Amino acid sequence: MANYREMWETLGMDLETHDQLCAVLPTAFGDTYLSQENRPAGMDFWDMVVADIHGIRPAELIEAQKKGQKVFGTFCVYVPDEVVIAANGIVTGLCGGSQFWVPSGEEVLPKSTCALIKASVGARLGRTCPFFRIADMYVGETTCDGKKKAWEILGKDVPMHIMDMPQMKREKDIAKWAEEIKDFAAVVEEFTGNKITPEKLNDAIKLINEKRKALARVYEARKADKLPISGKDVLLISQIAFFDDPARCAQMCNALADELEQRIADGVSVFKEGTKRIMITGTPMAIPNWKLHHIIETSGAAVVCEETCTGTRYFEKLVDDSKETLDDQYRAIAERYMGINCACFTPNTGRVDDILRLAKEYKVDGVIDVNLKFCCLYDTEGYTVEEALKANGIPVLGIETDYTDSDAEQLRTRIEAFVEMLG
């Protein structure tokens, strides 16, 4: 990593503890990523981002702040980036994906909270992540109970706006979400000092749609019989998409998609013929949570799709960009976001439909339903998901894990047995 110590010091970070993270990350990344063979050349960009993950993008954000832009930190794919961008703000994802941050989170949260929440709170309170220091305002949502309570704790340390998520998807719930988005827009306007106009919002809608389309192109390449890219690499792209500049993200993804399409035409694959194709469904995997993908892809299988918030839920479906008034645009945004199928909704039959559809599209041999320990929502919904998969003759393995490595060998044994069972 280049030397960004002065910047980190100015951000009030705990440098001594942060040094420990900087010391282990390159080895973890090298072992997980750089050990792969025949990777697409386009992955160089994402390797470079990771190599200076706490330097390059944070420095860009600070430069933007000096020019008057505000940075909003978000934790959920339901929070609409479009609204922030229309007010000349910047969005950065803040979900914590490392065990490194969990102990700081456990100082204020029950141990029986999911690792994602503990790591997110720990990264802020432990002062060991520049993104959590840079964000001017955090935007929470009322998706799950653990998050709702975590916002109260984080709200004592940083300006916080919370969006009230409906828990059902009736017409009145979509209308309510459109109202909530409108209220959020008013908060963003006041915080940034910039007015949102229909023209600016439409530009933002188009920008984020382009990013979604570019991510979709990368995913499309994974439907090929000969896989031109590993699941691990695509996971990394999705994770970084949450905090990169959206136009650059689209540009880099499109360039990579060109290369992947050429690889498909040339019959280039990163896996040997007959490698079993796995889809992952369940809880999100925030950076640098690469654990499950790494185990699967070093156990004789390939991950071809993720029905998660760091997968298809992030980019599928576009916002209708034909609306001309702010109210119509907020409604169009609400409709697109309410099309995401998170386990926090009841009923949530759309998620099962998505899983069955994706299993066909990506020609999967089996599904791994992963639950982050202490996530009651996805754990409970696992019953319905696994029942539907079995009813459709799709082999499924349900697992529960966290950010530690303590269960890695046990998981490997179970996954190897599952892959062998696939034939």
- Give dist(CA 268, CA 412) in Å, integer: 27
Is the Cβ–Cβ distance between 343 and 351 less than 8 Å? yes
- Give dist(CA 350, CA 416) in Å, integer: 30
Q: By CB under 6 A, which span of 70-78, 196-204, 222-230, 361-369 interacts with ligand SF4?
A: 70-78
Query: To the nearest whole angstrom, how small is the minimum distance from the Cβ of residue 123 to ligand SF4?
Result: 14
241 binds ligand SF4 (CB under 6 A): no
Looking at the Cβ atoms of 128 and 348, the one nearer to ligand SF4 is 348
Long-range (24+ apart) CB contacts under 8 A made by 159-164 are: 159/191, 161/137, 161/187, 163/78, 163/79, 163/139
- Give dist(CA 211, CA 252) in Å, integer: 10
- For residue 315, give the nearest of 234, 396, 199 by alpha carbon: 234
DSSP 306-340: EESTTTHHHHSS-------SHHHHHHHHHHHHTTS
- For residue 120, give the nearest of 134, 106, 137 by alpha carbon: 106
Looking at the Cβ atoms of 73 and 395, the one nearer to ligand SF4 is 73
Looking at the Cβ atoms of 316 and 365, the one nearer to ligand SF4 is 316
403 binds ligand SF4 (CB under 6 A): no
> Among residues 74, 283, 289, 329, which is the contact residue for ligand SF4, using CB under 6 A?
283
- Give dist(CA 196, CA 2) in Å, integer: 38
> Among residues 80, 284, 382, 398, which is the contact residue for ligand SF4, using CB under 6 A?
284
Q: By CB under 6 A, which span of 257-265, 315-323, 372-380, 401-409 interacts with ligand SF4?
A: 372-380
Looking at the Cβ atoms of 76 and 221, the one nearer to ligand SF4 is 76
78 binds ligand SF4 (CB under 6 A): yes
Looking at the Cβ atoms of 114 and 134, the one nearer to ligand SF4 is 114
Length of the chain: 423
- For residue 323, give the nearest of 314, 315, 332 by alpha carbon: 332
Give Cα separations from 52 to 11, 57, 127, 308 (angstroms).
17, 8, 18, 26
> Among residues 94, 221, 358, 377, which is the contact residue for ligand SF4, using CB under 6 A?
377
> Among residues 57, 124, 147, 351, which is the contact residue for ligand SF4, using CB under 6 A?
147
Q: Is the peptide bond before 159 cis (omega within 30 degrees of 0)?
A: no
Query: To the nearest whole angstrom, how small is the minimum distance from the Cβ of residue 237 to ligand SF4?
Result: 17
Query: To the nearest whole angstrom, how small is the minimum distance from the Cβ of residue 379 to ligand SF4?
Result: 8
DSSP H or E run through 204: helix 198-220
* Interface mask toward ligand SF4 for 318-347; x: CB under 6 A: ----------------------x-x-x---
418 binds ligand SF4 (CB under 6 A): no
77 binds ligand SF4 (CB under 6 A): yes
116 binds ligand SF4 (CB under 6 A): yes
Query: To the nearest whole angstrom, how small is the minimum distance from the Cβ of residue 204 to ligand SF4?
Result: 20
385 binds ligand SF4 (CB under 6 A): no
- Give dist(CA 61, CA 24) in Å, integer: 25
> Among residues 13, 21, 49, 76, which is the contact residue for ligand SF4, using CB under 6 A?
76
352 binds ligand SF4 (CB under 6 A): no
Long-range (24+ apart) CB contacts under 8 A made by 406-409 are: 408/291, 408/295
Q: Which residues are at the interface with ligand SF4 (CB under 6 A)?
A: 76-78, 114, 116-117, 143-144, 146-147, 283-284, 309, 340, 342, 344, 372, 375, 377-378
